[in-house]
Amino acid sequence: MTVLRALLVACAMLLAGRALALIETYEFSSPELEARYQQLSEELRCPKCQNQNIADSNAPIAQDLRKLLHHQLELGATDEEILDYMVVRYGEFVRYRPRFGGTTVVLWLAPVLLLLVGILVLTRMLRSPPKTGLSGTESLSAQEQVRLRSLLDKAGRDS
Amino acid sequence: MGPRLKLFLPLILFAMLAVTLFRGLSLDPGEMPSALIDQPLPAFSLPRLGQSGLLSEADVIGQPALLNVWATWCISCRVEHPYLQQLAAQGIPIFGLNYKDDDQAAQRWLDELGNPYRFNIADREGTLGLDLGVYGAPETYLLDAGGVVRYRHVGVVDDKVWQTILAPKYMALNTGSGAP
Amino acid sequence: MIPEIGHFALIIALCIALILAVVPAWGAWRGNSVAMALAPGLAMGLLVFVGISYSCLSAAFLQDDFSVKLVASHSNSLLPPIYKFAAVWGNHEGSLVLWVLILSLWTAAVAVFSSQLPLLVLSRVLSVMGVIAVGFLLFSLLTSNPFARLLPGAPADGSDLNPLLQDLGLIVHPPLLYMGYVGFSVAFAFAIAALLGGRLDASWARWSRPWTNIAWAFLSLGIMLGSWWAYYELGWGGWWFWDPVENASFMPWLAGTALIHSLAATEKRGLFKSWTVLLAIFAFSLSLLGTFLVRSGVLTSVHAFATDPARGMFILVFLAVVVGGSLTLYAFRAPAVSSRLTFAWVSRESLLLCNNVVFLVATLTVLFGTLFPLIVDALGMGKVSVGPPYFNAVFVPLMALLVPFMGLGPVSRWKGDTVARWRGELLIPLVVAVFCGITLPLLHAPYNIWVALAVLLSSWLVVGLARDFWQRLRRASNPMQGLGRLTPGYCGMLIAHLGFAACIIGVVATSQYSVENDLKMSPGDSRVLAGYEFRFVAVTEVRGPNFVADEAHFEVTRDGARVASMRPQKRRYLASGSVMTEAAIDAGLLRDLYVAMGEPVGSDGAWAMRLHFKPLIRWMWLGAILMAVGAFTAVLDKRYRRPREVVLGADEALLRGT
């Protein structure tokens, strides 16, 4: 069993080896199609590999999917149609850009929400003291305040 | 929230994360359930291996069955083959999908090693495979009597896989459909 | 024999680490100076024995001792010696020993370079690092023994190191990365020591700042090297994929950037003490989380080591103990009421807060995106993938948001400043930046709005920094004196921020302006790409030390003048049979030319070739190097080398108190 497992692992390694970049030379009827091909092949995940898009993988299934992609583009399908076609067969797993909806809404909204929370916290923190500088120095004498300012400036010149 | 309580927030968040990670350890991130679960087998019209005539999705309807995706270039399929013979001998219907293979080589293979399949679909270009969401061989689909995909197993079907995963599902389909 | 010595040394190291974890900390708790004073000695002892263990492992590799399982699985007699040496860390077990070695190095360094630290603090810091060492040594000895033997029946030769790893990048990337990851444990240890001591004053910030800067610098270099290595080694011209393992190193970097800036405010003004402590805990927790993600198998990645859920369980428990313990300590010991904030909206402090907000949001976003597939799966809601399209879409705007504040930061005053003063200082740089943003991208057709934005932002940084630098020189009586008065802290900031600006330009220019073509070419064919003519001359067979290859010869010309001779290879390694593409790269400061071989097409000697034109890509990595140089420079500041202060000076009291 271990020998066979080793063989399987070796096969898997050979097939999924990232450095064996298989380069096909598809002809496209227009440069826009080629650009879309490049973009979509980077957005589609190879179902079998360990986290590679179909552009970079040389697994047989990745090759098949690239051929399919080329074929569909030449037929005139839109990006959405092609992605849906793949999802029907391979599941949402195959999209590297999660669609906006269902479970992934929270994923797309998270950065915005986090940023809003951050800004909120920031403004609340900054709202407490008075808006002009050199606050909290009422207890210092005028001489000390001048000293403080010069110390602060000196500290500012370092980093 | 009291000021002291606020300081517990990072700990609480971390605890939630740790639980998720713990759960994650028992999952397999590479495992991919078929996107066609509970959907009928895609329509197809492909030649029959070794014989004339075409097969279509209607040919798999009638009883719960296994659809085994195999090829001569797939080493694991050779490993799986004897067990499939056993299952076929027990009367379990197995249909074959000869995936992106050469007809002659496939026929020779079956002649040499035995044929557990009721029939074989010769999917030379892999079109049905693509429609099924096949991404490598061997894969085995469990179909119910109406030709609806109920489960997909990726990898070799051996005794352990059959006893723990496929057999219970197969039995359930059988009793459910009342098939003999 | 040698592997057994190594194994034994590792066990002794564990014992020393256990004593280090317990005794000095107990001494600090009880006020026992003898116990506390043991800490530096124990730290050195730890280093010695881990060093012995590591040397034995290296010796096993270098001597082709195939009875050691690790050597048999990852080395080969034909492997060049330098790669045998590097193969020690090209696998899970060996890289763990490297982790522990680097941890011991940092621990010993803290023990040696801390003459200004009170013994009370030093003992606690070293004890915390001892705890971490115990965890990793236990992990190594119990689940990932590097010295496991294949006796009887040692193979005659090994399976060879993965050819992808047989490269200069492998030799340097992991050690640098680990120096960074592990280095954040020092900031973590200082934070814990501060919490344990109950005295959360600003001096701990001054002590931990140089250590944190150095760790951050190494991490920057490590990540940069990883990106560069992937670029030239993998044969497809990419340099960042937002892969979980890549993110595992990037998240500590992002949190670390927030940390080094927050430490500045804490050191200078005694502010955000509690928050900075939390950041220090967070940054190191992300390091540990990264270790978990890479070695447990919960996420799929091309970079992941051979994964094993049992090992993952161990790391998870360790993570729970260390992070859970530190966060519990934080919850109980951090001051519940934050100190009175005494600075205005318009001040350097608030700008540093903006930095913290942006980097924290970035860290949490990357964390969430990386873990999202796992979360969804754990909740039973199916399988999704989160990849570069998502990360690029959310990360880039955040960085863009950061830059305006970054330009204001160095110029602003502590505590209170005025918008009028900012306007006076920075109006000219702003105008120049807008002008550059509009005009410079015209140099390259077609006009690209993203590049324009990037140029605007970078110019804003660069011109602002240049002007400030100029002003400081001018204020002195003569330029030489002005230069002399520039502190290492200031110079470090200047260099690091310039590096960041260079990074922005590099990333955006290469993303937007790169041209890539996959073509079928036969010997004698010529193709033009971005003004360069690539002429395919011939394919020959060459032999390497442990491979055979098909080598293509390309001559590249531009406007008739010869630019470069490029020789990509398609290698087949003899021991493993694996095939690898070795891309040919003509590197340049302003552009890279990149040629990779695909497969032979047809039978008439034609090949599928990939040709790339990548402008300004080196700026990205040079920017990262500059950032690291800046961080190293800042550490040279005299104030970190001042002897221990007994009484807080009157000036400091004034600064910190208000």
DSSP assigned state of C441: G
| Residue range C71-99, pLDDT digits in tens | 988 988 888 899 999 999 988 999 999 99
pLDDT of residue A157: 67
Chain A nearest CA to B178, separation (Å): 30
| B101 in Cβ contact with B134 (< 8 Å) | no
Q: Which residue has the higher pLDDT, C481 or C567?
A: C567
Q: Are C60 and C71 in contact (CB under 8 A)?
A: yes
The pairing of beta strand B139-143 with beta strand B65-70: antiparallel
| Most confident by average pLDDT, A68-77, C13-22, C449-458 | C13-22
**Residue A74, token pair as written in the block:** 């030449």
User: How distant, in Å, are the alpha carbons of A118, C33, C118, C449, C493 from that of C446?
Assistant: 38, 71, 62, 10, 35
Q: With a cut of 90, say whether residue C421 has pLDDT above it.
A: no
Cβ–Cβ below 8 Å for A45 and C472: no
Alpha carbons C545 and A91: distance in angstroms, whole number: 45
Q: Which of residues 628-647 of C touch A (CB under 8 A)?
A: 634, 637
**Is residue C115 over pLDDT 90?**
no
Neighbours of chain C (3+ CB pairs under 8 A): A, B
Q: What are the tokens at A47?
A: 């179902």
Residues C159, C575: contact at Cβ < 8 Å?
yes
Give whichever of C5-14, C192-201, C307-316 has the largest mean pLDDT. Answer: C5-14
Q: How confident is the model over A97-134, as pLDDT tens digits? A: 998 888 899 999 999 999 999 999 888 887 765 444 44
C555: which 2 tokens? 């001559």
**CA–CA separation, B73 and B77 (whole Å):** 8
Average pLDDT of A22-49?
85
Contacts of C332 in chain B (CB under 8 A): 7
Contact with chain C for residue A63, Cβ under 8 A: no
Q: How confident is the model at residue A11 (pLDDT cuts 50, 70, 90)?
A: very low
Q: B87 or A154: which carries more pLDDT confidence?
A: B87
Q: Which of these, C356, C352, C367, lies nearest to C280 by C-alpha position?
A: C356
From residue C13, alpha-carbon distances to A84, B154, C3, C142, C167 in Å are: 57, 45, 15, 14, 31
Rounded CA-CA distance C315/C320 in Å is: 8
Alpha-carbon distance C625 to C219, whole Å? 11
Q: What average pLDDT does the structure give for chain C? A: 89
- Pick from C364, C388, C413: CB nearest A114: C364
Q: Which amino acid is at C36?
A: M
Q: CB of A56 within 8 Å of any CB in chain C?
A: yes
Give the 3-state secondary structure of residue B99: strand
pLDDT of A132 reads: 46
| Residue numbers in A near B131 (CB within 8 A) | 89
* SS3 assignment, position A108: helix
Q: Which residue of C has its CA nearest to A113?
A: C361
pTM: 0.91
Give the pLDDT score at C391: 95
| Coil vs helix vs strand at B138 | coil
Cα–Cα distance for residue pair B7/C195, rounded to 1 Å: 13
Chain C residues whose CB is inside 8 A of the B17 CB are 371
d(CA C54, CA C10): 9
Tell me which residues of chain A, numbers 104 to 133, contact chain C at a CB-CB cutoff of 8 Å: 104, 107-108, 110-111, 114-115, 118-119, 121-122, 125-126, 128-133
**Is residue C157 very low, low, confident or very high in pLDDT (cuts 50, 70, 90)?**
confident
pLDDT of residue C44: 96
Q: Which chains touch A (3 or more CB pairs under 8 A)?
A: B, C
Q: Choose the most confident range, by mean pLDDT, from C111-120, C158-167, C496-505.
A: C496-505
CA pair distance B91, B89, nearest whole angstrom: 5
pLDDT digits (tens, 9 = 90+) for C460-489: 999 999 998 988 888 887 778 778 888 898
- Quote the minimal CA–CA distance from B1 to chain C in Å: 12
pLDDT of B115 above 80? yes
What does the DSSP assignment read for A53-89? BTTT--SHHHHHHHHHHHHHHHHT--HHHHHHHHHHH
* Helix residue ranges, H only, chain A: 2-16, 31-43, 60-75, 79-90, 105-127, 142-157
Task: State the pLDDT confidence band at C22, using cuts at 50, 70 and 90.
Answer: very high
Tell me how far apart the alpha carbons of residues C186 and C203 are, in angstroms, rounded to a whole number.
Answer: 15
Beta strands per DSSP E along C446-604: 515-521, 526-529, 532-543, 547-558, 561-566, 569-573, 579-582, 584-586, 591-601
pLDDT for the residue numbered C340: 66
**pLDDT higher than 80, residue C156:** yes
- Distance between alpha carbon C328 and the CA centroid of its chain, in Å? 28
One-letter amino acid for residue C645 of the chain: E
B interface mutation test: which of A44, A54, A61 has the most B CBs within 10 A? A61
Name the CA radius of gyration of chain C, rounded. Answer: 27
Which of C329, C383, C384 to substitute to test the interface with B, most B CBs within 10 Å? C383
Determine what percent of chain C is predicted with pLDDT higher than 70: 96
CB contact under 8 A, A89 and B36: yes
Query: Which residues of B lie closer than 8 Å to A, measured between beta carbons?
Result: 30, 32-36, 75-76, 79, 100, 126, 130-136
- pLDDT value at A7 more than 50: no
Task: Answer yes or no: is pLDDT of A15 > 60.
Answer: no
The strand ranges marked E within chain B are 45-47, 54-56, 65-70, 94-99, 120-123, 139-143, 149-154
| Strand ranges inside C265-357, DSSP E | none
Distance CA C143, CA C310 (A): 8
Beta strands in C292-336 (DSSP E): none
**What's the pLDDT band for C655 if we cut at 50, 70, 90?**
low
Using alpha carbons, select from C89, C91, C112 the residue that is nearest to residue C39. C112
Asked if residue C566 has pLDDT above 60, the reply is yes
Model confidence pLDDT, tens digit, residues C202-229:
788 888 999 999 999 999 999 999 999 8
C349: nearest Cα among A128, B5, A116, A114: A128
Task: Tell whether C319 is within 8 A of chain B (Cβ).
Answer: yes
Looking up tokens 């305040």 gives A145
C540-555 pLDDT, tens digit each: 999 988 889 999 999 9
Residues of A in contact with B136 (CB under 8 A): 48, 59-61
Running DSSP on this structure, what letter comes out for residue C592? E
Residue A128: what pLDDT? 65
Distance (Å) from the alpha carbon of A49 to chain B's nearest alpha carbon: 9
- The reply to whether residue C300 touches residue A19, judged by beta carbons under 8 angstroms, is no
CA distance B136 to B99: 9
Query: With an 8 Å Cβ cutoff, is A14 touching chain B?
Result: no
ipTM score assigned to the predicted complex? 0.88
Residue A136 — very low, low, confident or very high, per pLDDT cuts 50/70/90?
low
What is the pLDDT at residue A4?
39
CA trace torsion C131, C134, C140, C146 (10° rounding): 120
Cβ A152–C414 below 8 Å, yes or no? yes
Determine whether the interchain pair C324/B18 forms a contact, defined as Cβ–Cβ distance below 8 Å.
yes
Nearest to C489 among A17, A94, A159 (CB): A159
So what's the pLDDT on residue B180?
A: 47
User: Are A146 and C381 in contact, with CB atoms under 8 Å apart?
Assistant: no
Q: In what order do the strands lie in the sheet with C591-601?
A: C515-521, C606-615, C591-601, C584-586
If you average pLDDT over residues C351-376, what whole number do you get? 94
- What's the pLDDT tens digit per position in B155-179? 999 899 899 988 999 988 888 654 4
pLDDT(B5) > 70: yes
Instruction: Read off the DSSP letter of residue B92.
Output: -
Percentage with pLDDT > 90 across chain C: 58
Q: What is the pLDDT of residue C642?
A: 62
Query: Taking CB atoms and an 8 Å cutoff, what residues of chain A touch C234?
Result: 18-19, 21, 56
More confident residue, A31 or C26: C26
For residue C577, the one-letter residue type is G
Rg (CA), chain A: 29
The 3-state DSSP class for residue C394 equals: helix
> Residue B138, preceding bond cis, omega within 30 degrees?
yes
